[in-house]
Amino acid sequence: MAYASKSPNLADLVPVFIAFASNPQSQWEDPPSYDSYTLSEGYQPCQSTLYNYVSNCAYSFEHSPESSEPARYKESTYDLRRRQLQMYHSRRNSDADATARQLLKRWPCETPPWCSLKPGLYDVPDLTSKVQSHFSSCYHNLKLKDHLARVQDKLNNAYSQASAIPILQYSFQPSQTVPHRTFWSLTVDQLFARPAPSLQVHGGERSKSIPSSICRRPSDQCGMLWKGGLPDSSKDDRTTCCGDTHGTLRSVQSQLH
């Protein structure tokens, strides 16, 4: 992550490094031991590049044996010089093409074969240095390419052998059973059959409690009479019909005061 933070333009390489680190087989695949690579040279020597090396290392026309070619019978100076130049270029092009083909036959190798050119016609040491540099760069790049191909194969195998993540599928089925419905209904008799809550009344320093005992007895007038249990201070039971609710409430209030 520190590598990516210092070089944001190389942040895309972080997943590649993680893939290498998480693959145990990567530890057995060492990269080539070369210090640097010139990728612009390619993965194999180029015939046109070798051809140009040989052609450019040839000595100039003035120092070539073609420049000393004698004139023919009645040949003008102009025709002589043109013929000499044609001989020079023909020999140089032929040697360059043959040498390039000879060098490519030995590929792949880091050290090219010795050039069979005449030292008096070509700068052989300079040509050898250029060809050696080109062969070395191409050979290093080829080894790097082979290394990357092996690493890619390991990553592909690791990806293909990885267990697939199961896809969870959910399905919903409606319930086949209909819940039983319970109808709750209370009659007045069931409601008043329950014990009444205790009522606490606070007034100043006095606090009296109304007992929650309620009894009932039949009545011919309204079908039900309710009798509230009053404190012991009451001298008689106060009964009321269900239609005289306000009278009963006034009786309770008079007992509290």
pLDDT of 242: 44
- Nearest Cα to Cα of residue 140 among 49, 37, 40, 50: 37
Return the structure tokens found at 5: 């933070």
Q: Cβ of 193: how many Cβ atoms within 10 Å?
A: 11
Report the amino acid identity of residue 171. S
- Give the residue from 158, 162, 146, 161 showing the smallest Cα distance to 30: 146
* In the chain, domain spans: 1-28, 31-161, 194-256
Residue 19: is its pLDDT beyond 80? no
Residue pLDDT, tens place only, 77-131: 999 999 999 999 999 999 999 999 999 999 999 999 988 899 999 999 999 999 9
* pLDDT for res 217: 46
Tell me the Cα Rg of the chain. Answer: 57
Q: With a threshold of 0.85, does the pTM exceed it?
A: no
The secondary structure of residue 191, as a DSSP letter, is: H
* Cis status, amide bond into 108, omega within 30 of 0: yes
